[in-house]
Structure formats: structure tokens, C-alpha cells
Amino acid sequence: MNFNGIDFDTYFKHYPDENGFFGKYGGAYISDDLKQAMAEITEAYFTICKSSKFISELRGIRRDFQGRPTPISYLERLSGKLGNVQLYVKREDLNHSGAHKLNHCMGEALLAKYMGKKKVIAETGAGQHGVALATAAAYFGLECDIYMGSVDIKKQAPNVARMKILGANVVEVTHGLATLKEAVDAAFAAYANEYKDAIYCIGSVLGPHPFPMMVRDFQSVVGIEAREQFVGMTGELPDAVVACVGGGSNAAGMFAGFLNDPVDLYGVEPLGKGPKLGDHAASLKYGTEGIMHGFNSIMLKDENGEPAPVYSVASGLDYPSSGPEHAFLRDLGRVKYDVVDDEETIDAFFTLSRTEGIIPAIESAHAVAYGMKLAKQMGKGSVLINLSGRGDKDMDYVLQNYGIR
């Protein structure tokens, strides 16, 4: 399919280019030491991802350990309530450990094993990436250092407990505001010292090349499965596909299955409390071009041009930028990026739970809220929503802050 001058039949061959660019976005803006480490990872990835041994091992892990393929569920009661549009969800909440993040963590850890590394390193904010990586490290018998700000350690006690039980070393970062940004800096610094024995595992389609590409490729299993399942269930493609966007990994994986199809794609960002800077984390909607954490993309900046403070009711979505490929697909017009706020999200959280017996992660509830709005606008057709994770982690928070609805 040709779209605005881009041939999507060969899209994955050309994007990113060999330097990690999706148009002007992406790249690797890092120190020479780290450049060398990234070059080593890129080379290993290109060799290994063509190896049938690696591919069949990853397939086996997905089937026997992660529980893939995850199903698609038809939301009969919710569809009936909204009108004539048929709603479906891809059940990444049923992936082992309860979200899509394990898809790329198992891939990254398997790559570490093939490269002969002994350790995986990462930072975590809310702890979701840390838990997924700790799970993968335990599976492969790798050491695992997770850098986390002291403020987040206090806030996210259950995830800290999970990481420790899984054998990970949770390294407390105490400087500055002691949250995600400081944890990223500390993890990068540690990696610069340890890259001979360790590999850095980024938690989304972010960071320097090759991570936006690798994480997308590992997540593309979601979209490839979903396309085949949807056609199998209905005999057709969905009219629209919806996914939430923080860094953008679950969306990138889902969209990868449909980029070359006549299907409308929607990425949903968190509008939080409103459009004022600091009240949301909708970088693609309100941000401008800039470089952070080693890549060029669209980002929210403060008055000094530094990454701005962001807010979302979903801690997995509050990042001041999004992956470079999303910035590219936005400019191209291939994917439409839009927002829903906290209130709409909490409503969708309860609606999906009550109507279908599925408690979504608050991140995923953003996509559900948008899918419901879209269904009302469309009037007919079908919408496939990526349900990136389950909501067990969010139940206490929702009840304390919003009560039962």
C-alpha cells in the first residue's frame, strides 16, 4: 500500500535506516563509548534475528512460557451498549506477568544470552518494566540490576517486592528528584562502565538506535497475531485499530501488523488533568522536536528546553516523549494521535470491568475509552483495541482516589 509517498509493502526494510532514523527522528545521540556498545548490539541483533535457532527458541518461549498467542475477545455486551460498531480487544493482559512488556524483555534477554552477556541493566519508574525484565532474567539465569528512584521505590512497593522475589537487584537512586529521570541517568552511567558484561534493556520503543527498532520488532508479534486472528474470526480486517501510547511499544507492535492495510490506526495519549503543561503527558499532541535520552523525537519541554514534568493517572504513560517511529508516522499522517483525559479513562476502566469482566490496566483503559468514543462516532464497522495489560496493579489506587462507580 502506498501512503503519502511511502511504500508500506517494503516499509520494514527501509525504516529505520542503517543509522536508526525514521525520517528525521531517531538516531543515536550518545557518547563514543556507548556508541560502540550500541554498534555491538545492532550487529548482534541483525545476525541473530536472521538465525533460525534464535527464532525458534523465541517462538518456543512465547508459546510455552508466555502463553502466546494471546486471544482476541469480542466485546458483545459493550458493543451492544454503544450501538452498531463491533468492539474487540487483543488480550495482552493474559500474557505472562500481565502485560505486553514481557514480549520485548524476553527478546532482549535472549539476545543477551546469545551475546554471552551475564547481566541485564535497566531503569524503572512505576516498576512495570523492572518486573518484566526481572522475570526474563530469572528465566535465563542472568543477573539483573534495576535502577529506581527512592521516591518511586516508596510508591511502588508491590512491584519492588516482585522484583526482589524474582532475584533482581533493585538499586536505589537518591539524587535530584529521585524519580525516573535520575534512574535513567544512573542506569546509563552504570552501563557505560559495565557494557562488556552487561546489556542495557530499554523498556519501550525509545532510546538510541537500535532499541526503537528492536523493541518494535519484538512487539510486532502482537499485531501479526492480531491480524491473523481477527481475519479468522470475522473474515475481514478491522476498520480501526486503537492502542495507548506512552513510550509507544504496545502501539508500535500492534500497528506493525496493520501498517500496510486499509485500516485506520489511532494512538491514544494521556491528557491527564488537561492541556496545561505539567497536567498531561501528551507529547505527540503538544510537544516539539528535540533530543533526549539519546534520540530525536517530539517531546514536551520546560522553559529551559529540558524535558518537562509530566502527569498521567497511568504511571506507565507519563513520559515526556514518544518513540521516534511514532513521531514519523504522525507527520506522515499514517497514524492519528489523539488524547483522552483521566476522567474518561476511569469511566472506561469501570465500564470494561462491569460490562465484560475484564479489569484493564489504567494505561490500557485510555485505549478502551478512545475505542468507545470512536465507536459512537463511526456508527458502523469494527474496532480492535490493544488491551496492553491487566488492572490488578491499579485497583487500590482507583478505589482510594475515585471510589466505586
Ligand X SMILES: *Cc1c(COP(=O)(O)O)cnc(C)c1O
Residue type, 324: P
Q: How far is CA 307 from the centre of its chain?
A: 19
Q: What does the alpha-carbon distance between residue 273 and residue 335 come to, in Å, rounded to a whole number?
A: 24
Residue placing its CB nearer to ligand X in the complex, 69 or 195: 69
User: 368, 374, 339: which is closest to 84 by C-alpha?
Assistant: 374
Looking at 66, 204, 229, 382, which residue binds ligand X (CB under 6 A)? 204
Q: C-alpha angle 347/348/352, rounded to 5°? A: 125
Looking at 16, 130, 208, 247, which residue binds ligand X (CB under 6 A)? 247
Question: Does residue 202 sit in helix, strand or coil?
Answer: coil
Residues 248-277 as x/- pattern, contact with ligand X by CB under 6 A: xxx---------------------------
Scan residues 288-307 and list those touching ligand X (CB under 6 A): none
Locate 245 and state its grid cell: 501510547
What values do phi and psi take at 247, rounded to 5?
-75, -35
Specify whether 388 is catalytic.
yes
Size of the site for ligand X (CB under 6 A): 18
Among 92, 108, 123, 182, the active-site one is 123
Locate 240 and state its grid cell: 480501526
Residue placing its CB nearer to ligand X in the complex, 213 or 317: 317
Stretch near ligand X under the rule CB under 6 A, chosen from 24-32, 68-76, 154-162, 242-250 = 242-250
Please report whether residue 317 would count as binding ligand X according to CB under 6 A. yes
Locate 357 and state its grid cell: 469482566
Q: Find the shortest distance in angstroms from Cβ 385 to ligand X.
A: 12
Q: Find the shortest distance in angstroms from Cβ 213 to ligand X.
A: 14
User: 187, 250, 185: which is closest to 223 by C-alpha?
Assistant: 250
- Dihedral, CA atoms, 290, 294, 297, 298, nearest 10 degrees? -50
Residue 8 contacts residue 262 (beta carbons within 8 Å) = no
Residues 357-376 as x/- pattern, contact with ligand X by CB under 6 A: ----x-xx------------
Locate 181 and state its grid cell: 529521570
Looking at 106, 153, 187, 244, which residue binds ligand X (CB under 6 A)? 244
Among 90, 101, 181, 393, the active-site one is 101
Q: Is 31 exposed, middle or buried (0-12, 13-18, 19+ CB in 10 A)?
A: exposed
Stretch near ligand X under the rule CB under 6 A, chosen from 37-45, 47-55, 133-141, 243-251 = 243-251
Residue placing its CB nearer to ligand X in the complex, 207 or 238: 207
Residue placing its CB nearer to ligand X in the complex, 296 or 364: 364
Among 301, 315, 388, 393, the active-site one is 388
Q: What does the alpha-carbon distance between residue 4 and residue 325 come to, in Å, rounded to a whole number?
A: 16
Please report whether residue 222 would count as binding ligand X according to CB under 6 A. no
Please report whether residue 225 would count as binding ligand X according to CB under 6 A. no
Looking at 178, 245, 374, 398, which residue binds ligand X (CB under 6 A)? 245
Specify whether 273 is catalytic.
no
Residue type, 298: I
Q: What does the alpha-carbon distance between residue 289 and residue 305 come to, in Å, rounded to a whole number?
A: 10
Residues 101-130 as x/- pattern, contact with ligand X by CB under 6 A: x--------------------------x--
Count each helix (H run) and each strand (E run) in the chain, helices first: 16, 16
Q: Which residue is nearest to ligand X (CB)?
A: 389
Outline where DSSP puts E strands in 124-197.
143-149, 169-173
- Residues with a catalytic annotation lie at 101, 123, 388
Contact residues: ligand X, CB under 6 A = 99, 101, 128, 204, 244-250, 316-317, 361, 363-364, 388-389
